Structure 1
Amino acid sequence: MRAAVIGLGWWGKQIITYLHPSNKIQVTHGVDVQVEHLADFAKDHALILETDLNAVLNNPDIDAVILATPHSMHEEQALQIIAAGKQLFCEKPLALTSQGAKRILDAVQKQNFVLGIGHERRFEPALEEVLRAVKAGELGQILHVEANVSHNLFAKMSASNWRVQDQDAPAGALTALGVHLTDFFISLVGCPTHVRAKTGRVLKDAVGKDQVMVQLDFKEGITGSVTCLSTTPFHGRITVFGSLGWIEVKENGNVDWGLPSEMTITNSEAKRSFKSLPASNVVLKNFESWADAVAGKSVYRYTPEQIYNNIQVLEAIVYSSNHSSEIVAIH
């Protein structure tokens, strides 16, 4: 599959680097509004640079487009890409509204395409083990899921950076960071039924919103919580509690740091065991899984319903945080 990456900022370049060893996806083109500073990167990765999305949409040699642009641009650009007959892989979040997500998913279905989504966290060995244990019933009845994944990478950005602007990050760091967590919870216990959220700025000199707290209700009385802080050093913890035990995953760094994850597994007698799981190229795993699905070789693990539900949750979080933490029902 020959692909173009749209948006050659930090993450767009990371995607190209992660895909370098792939024999399933070859990135041949890159598109960015500012290509002057990309000459060395393009040379190192044998990229043809363009400044206009239409240049790749009209190119018959390109099979797919990988979208890594500011969040508020996703919907319009995604629909352009699909209408041009190109397979689409979109970085998260797919859209900022559930209506926008539905329009994209409907367009994908109409073309009989497979939508790729940038939730590579589900491919992390530790989280794959959590999902396996939950689905196998090893934890018994699931009672509660919680996560706190925070870092201060955004705090070092200029206030003019799109990643900290309300237009592209209406739920603060959760817009780009916490949506991985809600996606994972949806894969574990389904879509939440109710959401309550609070966002704010604790540090006066913080760039954008630096605190997001979310409470989630799921079916069968399961509860959940998500916290994202953007002015503290890296912290990553995901815990799933069940009637027969619990599992906690502690992460030592961001996905691009290449550090192992630590797991604590506790049984019904409160006996604990520990595992250390090495980092792996989860970005490559996600993309190649998508490429296999496009080729009809496998089923992609992210269903359209799950992708849509995650945007419903994001939209509810934004609404709740903008309306005095009002409880929002998801239908």
Structure 2
Amino acid sequence: MRDGKVGVGLIGCGVMGKSLATHLRTIEQAELVAACDAVEEVAKAFGSEFGVWTTTSLDELLSREDVDAVLIATPAYLHAEQTVAAAEAGKHVFCEKPMALTLEDCDRMIDACRKNNVNLMVGQVLRYFPIHAKVKELVDSGELGRLLCLTIYRLGGGFTGVWAKEWRKSKALSGGMLMEVNIHELDFLRWVGGEVESVFAVGENFLHPDCDYPDCVIVTLRFRNGAIGTLHASQVSTAGDYGGRADCERGSLLFPKLWGGELVVQTEKGQQVFKAEELSAENPVRRELREFVESIVEGRQPAITGEDGRAAVALALAVYRSIETNGVVKL
């Protein structure tokens, strides 16, 4: 680190990379010093926009002494190799979700970071949305009693815009809808509900014949603590929607929006409402990056570890296996 700041290199200068870079620049303890993209025109355009050195060579970026950590914002099939290379170069790693597409690759990433004594954080950003964080806090507090049922749904209207890129149409490259989009909801279910014992899922590809994976999935989960969970994930919904609820022994938590909105706590005593902007005004992406930077400065593990990222991938793979076998899959 120079002048108490973590020098950061960005790997992948696309839409997500630009978002990460924009928020990183607002964090006082970090400095974006370099960026890398395989497409020269993209790298140069990013360098002009953000005023940093760029390259098309990952090795060149990792060889820079002023790069203490990297943010990986590339397609999922590249995450494992890039994470291992960064760890072996002594760089801390923030890897966008999904962590990887196989458990073997997740294990390689975890092992490489552990052996080289660098941090590994996975971008499961839903944990930093204020409403979702409050749900976790209230469930963990036990003030509403034992968690009974946990439900979340995320319904989109199709793979358009940035989601229409060719690599996202391939399950082998993107992991499909469950990995590329709904890994967030799967992580949230495990984060709030606890470790998952088994899943049963059904899924179909209704409207996207150019994609080799389901565009609509409904999942039932049984948690090890006895609670039940459900996920409805879709890209076939003309009227897109997002929401969820947690039903406990002595009350229910209702959260109807991803961005902003409010959390309604309903008990026999009445209703309490928490507004997102009153819980936290900090952007969730900035919050997760701040956690990554602070974990490096403070010499501790980040709040979301490689093991957390692996568990979300394991859950997604179990859902796919259940769809393929039409049976219950135990984790």
Q: Judging changes above 3 Å, is the alpha-carbon distance between structure 1 residues 268 and 20 closer, same or farther for their aligned structure 2 residues?
A: same
Counterpart check, 1:273 vs 2:252: no
**Secondary structure of residue in 1 paired with 2:286:** helix
Alpha-carbon separation, structure 1, partners of 2:158 and 2:261: 20
Alpha-carbon separation, structure 2, partners of 1:150 and 1:173: 11
**Secondary structure of residue in 2 paired with 1:221:** coil
Structure 1 residue aligned with 2:255? 249
Q: Judging changes above 3 Å, is the alpha-carbon distance between structure 1 residues 54 and 38 closer, same or farther for their aligned structure 2 residues?
A: closer
**Secondary structure of residue in 1 paired with 2:287:** helix
> Where in structure 1 are there 5+ consecutive unaligned residues?
253-258
- Deviation larger for 213-222 or 140-149: 213-222
Map Cα deviations across residues 242-266 of structure 1 (whole Å, 9 max, x no partner): 11111111215xxxxxx52221211
Q: Identity over the aligned pairs, expressed in percent?
A: 25
Alpha-carbon separation, structure 2, partners of 1:90 and 1:182: 17
1:35: Cα distance to partner? 3.0
1:157: Cα distance to partner? 5.3
Alpha-carbon separation, structure 1, partners of 2:130 and 2:80: 31
RMSD of aligned Cα (Å): 2.2
Alpha-carbon separation, structure 1, partners of 2:149 and 2:83: 35
Map Cα deviations across residues 138-177 of structure 1 (whole Å, 9 max, x no partner): 221101111111323623457552223211333x322122
Structure 2 residue aligned with 1:296? 298
- Deviation larger for 227-236 or 133-142: 227-236
1:1-331 pair list within 5 angstroms: 1-37=6-42, 39-152=44-157, 154-156=159-161, 160-170=165-175, 172-203=176-207, 209-232=214-237, 233-251=239-257, 259-268=259-268, 271-278=270-277, 280-296=282-298, 300-323=302-325, 325-330=326-331
Structure 2 residue aligned with 1:256? none
**Secondary structure of residue in 1 paired with 2:172:** coil
Q: Judging changes above 3 Å, is the alpha-carbon distance between structure 1 residues 39 and 184 closer, same or farther for their aligned structure 2 residues?
A: same
For 1:237, give the aligned amino acid. Answer: G
**TM-score, length of structure 2 as denominator length:** 0.89
1:82: Cα distance to partner? 0.8
Q: Judging changes above 3 Å, is the alpha-carbon distance between structure 1 residues 204 and 300 closer, same or farther for their aligned structure 2 residues?
A: closer
**Secondary structure of residue in 2 paired with 1:28:** strand
Aligned length in residues: 321
1:64: Cα distance to partner? 0.9
For 2:196, give the aligned amino acid. Answer: P
**Secondary structure of residue in 1 paired with 2:112:** helix
Alpha-carbon separation, structure 1, partners of 2:208 and 2:191: 37
Q: Judging changes above 3 Å, is the alpha-carbon distance between structure 1 residues 234 and 26 closer, same or farther for their aligned structure 2 residues?
A: farther
Alpha-carbon separation, structure 2, partners of 1:104 and 1:38: 25
**Secondary structure of residue in 2 paired with 1:220:** coil
For 2:194, give the aligned amino acid. Answer: G
Alpha-carbon separation, structure 2, partners of 1:17 and 1:150: 27
**Contact 2:167/2:173 (CA < 8 Å) preserved in 1?**
yes
Q: Judging changes above 3 Å, is the alpha-carbon distance between structure 1 residues 274 and 285 closer, same or farther for their aligned structure 2 residues?
A: same
Q: Judging changes above 3 Å, is the alpha-carbon distance between structure 1 residues 219 and 66 closer, same or farther for their aligned structure 2 residues?
A: same
The runs of at least 4 consecutive aligned structure 1 residues that moved more than 6 Å come to none
> Where in structure 2 are there 5+ consecutive unaligned residues?
1-5
